[in-house]
Amino acid sequence: MTGLPIAVVGASAAGLAAAEALRRFGWRGPLTLIGDEPHLPYDRPPLSKQLLHGAWTPEKLLLRTAEQLAPLDLDLRLGTRATGLDVAGRALTLDGGVGVSPLAQGRERETLRCAGVIIATGVAARTLPGADRIAGVHTLRTLDDALALRGRLAKGGTPGSEGVAAGGGGRRLVIVGNGVLGCEAAAVARELGHEVTLVGIEATPMAAAVGTEVGELLAEEHRARGVRLLTGAVDGFETAPADPAGGGDMAAADNLPGAAPQVTAVRLADGSRLPADLVLLAIGSRPAVDWLDDPALDTSDGLRCDAYCAAAPGVYAAGDVARWDHPVHGRPLRFEHRMNATEQGMAAARNLLAELAAEASGPARAEDAAAGAEDAGPAPERRPFAPVPYFWSDQYAVKIQAYGLTAGADRVETTVLDRAARRALALYGRDGSAVGVLAAGLPPRQVRALRAVIAAPLPWEEARERIAAATAAG
């Protein structure tokens, strides 16, 4: 093969979907997949559930094995960071790497000129000042994050020591942040027998995502399972020196000589103190756009794109990092949803190829795109990306599924069908239209019927009637 590659930045679910779609839609030119982690693309939702619980091994998270990736004929750059993008020149700056490594070639940096670029770098976990210098304080975004936290939870603790549950093998875990991630991790930790305190700025868990009434229903389940729920802001951490000899306290024994001090408590702004053996910071995320400093790009709340997922000529985005003009809802949206990552990766690939095919037929940049695009067969058409948003969350035996837009609603109507079983149905509205629906504990057939109702905004009363009809049977 000759010509410039298409580069996909982010060996994520969105990035892998884009790479596979590029081949499926006919790109025969060079194809580079770049990931800053050393791992093959893996699935992230199980990190806070099956992997953290110990039910799954890391291998089960892989989206594709090395053998399954081989037919894509990828130039796979794992452990490689993209540190810059020249939009006009479609040139990436790369640092480090496994595979075709600039370091192995005696260089610290490589410039990769591209026919086109798809950015799928996702998001990074938010943290608190100084937290990275304290042992026992974790975030949960990557596979390595999840394995580190799972390892600490598996070590148990010494009965009677502060920060260790009095019952014996459990540890006291303080989770800062009561959104989706914090609630899922709290459920797993309780199932493993640890003592869990869930503290958030909002009084109701997950209220921003699902509304107050559904959030209260989840709060009841967490309390019933033994989770302590608190409202407050974190003011800082208390620590103890690392114990090189490991004498007595297993939390300290995890540290090596010269290691960071061990967390012993979380301080809240109201002056209260929460003893802790471990802390999980689940305070949200920020789009991974810090490396994009070209003024041609808008990186406010993700990478701004048009309805076709294009951020600039020849530059597209997909997944958690992309904020694009949703043609149905009529405003820019950004979703950190697993289903959206796959669908948007495919859409970005299709639309990029359509653009490259058009370039190859004209004078501009024809030499860059021709090698791959001319062999691609009939040019695909660019299509606006208009998905029906979908997300789910599993907590204990409660499964929550939602279609459409639930966050930012100005009207929410919740029907609790069975409080003891945590079964509920909620409709979400904005500007007089119904834009989202959520089901907790409903059978799959009824949940699937809800998608068609909310595929596009409907007048509120019409949506209510259709939701009632869709859920009337069974």
Rounded Cα distance, 155 and 251, in Å: 8
pLDDT for position 242: 76
Given a contact cutoff of 8 angstroms between Cβ atoms, the answer to whether 180 and 209 are in contact is yes
SS3 470: helix
Residue spans in the chain of domains classed CATH 3.50.50.60: 6-124+285-376, 131-281
pLDDT for position 369: 52
pLDDT in tens, 178-202: 999 999 999 999 999 999 999 999 9
Q: Across 8-12, 367-371, 463-467, which has the greatest mean pLDDT? A: 8-12
pLDDT band, very low/low/confident/very high, at 169 (cuts 50, 70, 90): low
CATH number of 6-124+285-376: 3.50.50.60
Q: φ and ψ at 275, to 5 degrees?
A: -55, 140
pLDDT band, very low/low/confident/very high, at 167 (cuts 50, 70, 90): very low
CATH number of 397-471: 3.30.390.30
pLDDT for position 99: 46
CB atoms within 10 A of CB 65: 10
Residue spans in the chain of domains classed CATH 3.30.390.30: 397-471
The reply to whether CATH 3.40.190.10 applies to domain 131-281 is no
Mean of pLDDT values over 342-354: 98
Amino acid at 74: L
SS3 443: coil
Mean pLDDT score of the chain, rounded to an integer?
89
Widest distance between CA atoms in the chain: 75
Is the confidence at residue 161, as pLDDT, over 50? no
